[in-house]
Structure 1
């Protein structure tokens, strides 16, 4: 196992542990807004897919980069959609005035 692979694996495992600890401390009522905002931030994954595509030297890597970019774009759009829907739940709707209502 190379030193670079070991370092990357250690960073990945530590990020999993930190992510689990952070997520377990957040109340259930805040999970969905927090995750929808985090999904929107995942635009970095789209940039990563572009970097992989720029350095690709095989059609397999081009296909992987394409699917990575597509799934990342779906994730970003889903994050914005969920956030928009959740914020829409807090909008106050104006009460419609009924036609026969003369109780003033």
Structure 2
């Protein structure tokens, strides 16, 4: 389990990291030629799995019932995201 005292990030630092990653992701994706978007998106399905693993870890370290409920929904949505990504990839490859 993750010890909450080990990870001590302030809200401002978390917001800064989120904004920096969003900007970097936008810049990287905007420089990819249009013809490569479909293979790039189908090849990046591993990210959905990482999100699912992160949701499971967060749910496992939940201590209150509210955190467990939020963790459950995070796991459910991440699993749906992963399955949807692979379904879309299969449909694109069948074209």
TM (norm. structure 1) is: 0.72
CA-atom RMSD in angstroms: 2.0
> What SS does the corresponding residue of 2:63 show, helix, strand or coil?
coil
Matched, 1:52 2:55: no
Q: Which runs of 4+ in 1 moved over 4 A?
A: none
Matched, 1:4 2:10: yes
Task: Report which structure shows greater RCO (CA 8 Å, sep ≥6).
Answer: 2
Unpaired runs of 5+ residues, structure 1, are 90-104
TM (norm. structure 2) is: 0.77
Alignment of 1:53-68 (within 5 A): 53-68=59-74
Unpaired runs of 5+ residues, structure 2, are 1-7
Displacement after TM superposition at 1:26 (Å): 1.8
Larger Rg: 1
In the TM superposition, what whole-angstrom CA distance separates every residue of 1:9-55 from its partner, at most 9, and x where no partner exists? 22111101111111111233332332233344211111111111211
